């Protein structure tokens, strides 16, 4: 397994000073950022693809493939979603979204192959109640099983969804097709503006869930993923205020040791 960390200016500073070691710099599919990051290490791309809005029909799949090949990114990731005003209690809408999920994923799978498309679950909160159908573990898992694609497990998203539903996070995760796991995301969660939110520094509960996940991998209960991504830090107004160089300096070495100890 490899450790990837979100691109940020503080991360590049730490790498330049040889204060942290990582395997991959995680970037969105932005050519400018990729070029900035390339001198400092190998890149893995996290695409902003959403499955359930019809967006895949208009995507430039040739560009996606070129970026994948240029960076040797192992798979194309996509997020299972529903439209903003989706009614999860309307049977007709549920049938339509299930058809759309499979049709859009089918386009990606036809182009890249089922082994190279990974589906990620979004966090379900009171602020995005329309996403509940997509975040439902049974629905999400069935889409993976029906299409043959792979699983991208986001531990923070799972914790947020489980908290919103009032269920045990380990049970929520265990119900996923973990035999198809190819990537794990981890980051800290905190209450922000009254909503449980991710992309913060790791705290005790976050470390515990990650340690449990890595133990399951070492024991052979889960498929060993290709990479674990620390989704802390970034650029722009959304991320800069919660990108602390001291957090990166202290938490990356611990993560690196945990990930490589599990390899």
CATH of the domain at 216: 3.20.20.150
User: Coil, strand or helix: which one is 32?
Assistant: helix
User: Is the predicted pLDDT of residue 136 greater than 80, yes or no?
Assistant: yes
The answer to whether 38 and 83 have CB atoms below 8 angstroms apart is no
List of residues 6+ apart from 59 with CB closer than 8 A: 49
Domain that holds residue 222: 2-261
* pLDDT at residue 236, rounded to an integer: 84
Mean pLDDT, the chain, whole residue set: 96
* pLDDT at residue 1, rounded to an integer: 96
* pLDDT at residue 237, rounded to an integer: 85
* pLDDT at residue 10, rounded to an integer: 97
First and final C-alpha spacing in the chain: 5
Task: Round to whole Å and give the CA distance between 97 and 52.
Answer: 6
List the single range of 21-35, 93-107, 168-182, 226-240 with lowest mean pLDDT. 226-240
What pTM was estimated for this model as a whole? 0.97
* pLDDT at residue 241, rounded to an integer: 84
For every residue of 50-96, DSSP letters joined together read EESSSGGGG--HHHHHHHHHHHT-S-EEEEE---TT--TT-HHHHHH
User: Is the predicted pLDDT of residue 186 greater than 90, yes or no?
Assistant: yes
Domains of the chain: total: 1
Task: Round to whole Å and give the CA distance between 44 and 67.
Answer: 10
When pLDDT is cut at 50, 70 and 90, the band that residue 262 belongs to is confident
């Amino acid at each position: 397994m490899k450790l990837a960390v979100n691109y940020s200016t503080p991360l590049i500073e730490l790498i330049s000073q040889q204060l942290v070691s990582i395997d991959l710099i995680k970037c969105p599919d932005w050519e400018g950022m990729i070029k900035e990051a390339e001198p400092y290490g190998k890149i893995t791309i996290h695409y902003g693809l959403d499955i359930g809005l019809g967006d895949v029909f208009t995507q430039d799949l040739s560009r996606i493939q070129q970026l994948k090949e240029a960076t040797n990114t192992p798979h194309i990731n996509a997020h299972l979603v529903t439209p903003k005003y989706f009614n999860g209690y309307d049977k007709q809408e549920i049938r339509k979204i299930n058809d759309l999920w499979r049709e859009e994923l089918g386009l990606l799978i036809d182009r890249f192959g089922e082994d190279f498309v990974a589906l990620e679950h979004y966090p379900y909160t009171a602020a995005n109640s329309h996403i509940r159908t997509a975040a439902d573990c049974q629905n999400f898992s069935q889409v993976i099983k029906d299409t043959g694609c792979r699983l991208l497990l986001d531990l923070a998203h799972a914790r947020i969804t489980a908290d919103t539903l009032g269920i045990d996070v380990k049970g929520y995760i265990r119900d996923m097709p973990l035999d198809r796991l190819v990537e794990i995301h981890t980051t800290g969660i905190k209450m922000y503006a009254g909503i449980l939110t991710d992309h913060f520094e790791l705290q005790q509960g976050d470390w515990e869930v990650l340690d449990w996940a890595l133990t399951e991998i070492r024991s052979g209960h889960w498929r060993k993923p290709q990479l674990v991504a620390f989704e802390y830090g970034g650029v722009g107004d959304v991320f800069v205020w919660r990108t602390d160089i001291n957090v990166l300096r202290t938490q990356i070495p611990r993560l690196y040791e945990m990930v490589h100890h599990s390899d």
